[in-house]
Structure 1
Amino acid sequence: MKKIIFLLCLLSPSLFADHTPYPSEWWKPVPREEAKPWEILPQDAKFGEEVILSKRTELGIFSNFAATPFTLDEKSYASVEGFWQMMKYPDPEDKDDPRFRNDLVWKYTRAEVAQLSGFEAKEAGDATKENYKKLGITWISYQGKRMEYKGKNKEDHYKLIFRAIQAKIDQNPKTKDLLLKTGDLVLRADHIQDADAPPAYHYEEILTKIRSNLQNPKSPSKE
């Protein structure tokens, strides 16, 4: 029975392909047993109404992990994830940054993390946990400004990540074209998120606002 249901799911996108302007591959089913614990699969979206920004399809380019180089505030980054995780490392623009403490060892430099992408960038951020525990801090920093990105400064962090994703879209023409190609589909993240996740974590909502601004340049959505 399960095999029959899976085959029907496999066929369903192609059955309706002639009635939607979107590629059926965006909903191509993936065997549930192949899914990662955190993963939301392409077929979990309502065909023709919403779409998962799955790393298993071309829409994975919208992930913060994707290697989509961009420049922000005159500095270059390999990915949004590299930009995000970089902020957990000692900041040369913060003269009193306690993260420069002599007894601490960091896996990378801030500049090195900026040039990472994919899970390598995520793991660079994870590698800071022990040092953060020793320091007893939870803030990150950008241009010398410290931010409690999960607390009182989450709106500032959101605006910063919005700018980074905006730069990524603006500076990668193929990515921008693909975003416009999603039309009016509801964009959904490809991973499970906590109900109380800070706004910067919802990249799918940021992309929706950026798409709306591209579609309606005279009435831009607010960050």
Structure 2
Amino acid sequence: MSQAETTLNVSSTSSDWRGVALSNFMLSPFSLDGALFASIEGFIQGIKFPEGDARREQAFVSSGWDAKHLGDTADRSGAYWKGQRLPYGSAEHHRLIERAIRARIAQNSGLAQVLASTAGATLVHSTGSEPESPTTSLPATVFCRILNEMRDELLSDGKVRPV
């Protein structure tokens, strides 16, 4: 990897297609706990709404800006999953999002290969709207930690190798 490629922005605005592919905005169906979701962004935004709220289901079948704008209508009082209310922005909330991200990558061998191909790069998440909002569901540091841990696991288990 050349010096210019040592940092990879994982974002829908990335100049590297791998960063775009790994971003939460991408339409990338996955299932978690028996439910199907269109994207990580839709999942992140949907869990902001209590179960039974129509916006929740609408977010779950959305991706990109559609999901993001829907989530902007939530009051961010909690994250709701399987009958539980998790404190918004808490470690439990972040672990739930991590489970979704892990499910997405595990269920898509192409994305696992893309993540492995970033070996040696420093993963960052910059959307151009710095500083990051204090009310973000998934801080950039948490998102990048999850991706780095998953990449290390993929490479260490030998099932996926960088190309």
TM-score bin, normalised by smaller chain: 0.7 to 0.9
Report which stretch shifted further, 77-86 or 48-57: 48-57
CA RMSD of aligned residues (A): 2.5
Residue of structure 1 equivalent to 2:126:
190
**Structure showing greater relative contact order (alpha-carbon pairs closer than 8 Å, 6 or more residues apart):** 2
**CA offset at residue 198 of structure 1?**
7.2
Residue equivalent to 1:165: 101
Corresponding residue of 2:84? 145
Equivalent residue in structure 2 for 1:178, among 104, 114, 122: 114
C-alpha distance after superposition, 1:19-78 (max 9, x if no partner): x3x7xxxxxxxxxxxxxxxxxxxxxxx614222224343121111111111000000000
- Per-residue CA deviation, residues 145-179 of structure 1 (Å, 9 max, x unaligned), is 112222xxx11011111111111111112111111
1:57 has 2:21 as partner: no
- Flag the 1:77–1:119 CA change in 2: closer, same or farther, 3 A: same
**Separation of aligned partners in 1, 2:51 and 2:151:** 33
CA separation of 1:212/1:115 partners in 2, compared to 1, >3 Å: closer, same or farther? same
Query: Per the alignment, in what secondary structure is the counterpart of residue 175 of structure 1?
Result: helix
Which position in structure 2 is the counterpart of 1:212? Answer: 152
1:54-133 matched pairs, under 5 angstroms: 54-55=11-12, 56-58=15-17, 59-92=19-52, 108-128=54-74, 132=75
2:161 alignment counterpart: none
Please say if residues 88 and 137 of structure 2, whose CA atoms lie closer than 8 Å, have aligned partners that are also in contact: no
Deviation for aligned residue 1:201: 2.2
Opposite residue 117 of structure 1, the aligned amino acid is: S
Identity %: 28
Partner of 1:47: 4
- Counterpart-to-counterpart distance in 1, 2:31 and 2:24: 15
- Offset of residue 90 of structure 1: 2.9
Distance (Å, rounded) in 2 between the aligned partners of 1:205 and 1:196:
18
CA 1:74/1:140 → structure 2, altered by over 3 Å: closer, same or farther? same
Provide the C-alpha distance between the structure 2 equivalents of 1:73 and 1:120, rounded to a whole number of angstroms: 24
Give the whole-Å Cα distance in 2 for the aligned partners of 1:81 and 1:163.
Answer: 13
Where does structure 1 lack aligned partners over 5 or more consecutive residues? 1-19, 23-45, 93-99, 101-107, 219-223
Rate the CA distance shift 1:156–1:63 in 2: closer, same or farther, 3 A: same
TM-score, normalisation: structure 2: 0.81
Based on CA coordinates, which of the two structures has the bigger radius of gyration?
1
